[in-house]
Homo-oligomer: A and B are copies of this chain.
Amino acid sequence: MTRTETRQALIRAGSEIIARQGFNNTGVSAVLSAAGVPKGSFYYYFSSKEDFGLAVIDDFDAEYDARLDNLLNDTTVAPLQRFRNYFDAGLADMVRYDYGRGCLIGNLSQELAAQNEVFRDRLDTVFSRWTQHFVRCLEQARAANEIGPDQDVEQLAETLLNGWEGAILRAKVARSTAPMTVFADLFFSRMLEGRN
Residues 115-146 of A, flagged 1 when their CB comes within 8 A of B and 0 if not, give 10000100110010000000000000000000
Contact of A22 among B22, B102, B173, B175 (CB under 8 A): B22
Residue of B nearest to A151 (CB): B190
Q: Is A12 an interface residue (CB 8 A)?
A: no
Nearest 9 interchain pairs by C-beta: A166-B166, A110-B110, A163-B163, A162-B166, A24-B25, A165-B166, A100-B114, A113-B172, A162-B170
**Chain B residues within an 8 Å CB radius of A113:** 99, 102, 169, 172-173
Q: Is the interface of A mostly helix, strand, loop or mixed?
A: helix
Residue of B nearest to A111 (CB): B22
Q: Which chain A residues in 15-34 approach chain B with CB under 8 Å?
A: 20-22, 24-25
Task: Of the listed stretches A38-46, A64-72, A81-89, A152-160, name the one at the interface; the rest are far from the partner chain.
Answer: A152-160
| A186: B residues at CB distance < 8 A | 155-156, 159, 191
How many copies the complex holds: the figure is 2
Judge whether B169 and A162 touch: CB under 8 Å: yes
Among B120, B155, B169, the residue within 8 A (CB) of A175 is B120
Residue in B114, B123, B163 whose beta carbon sits within 8 Å of that of A20 in the complex: B114
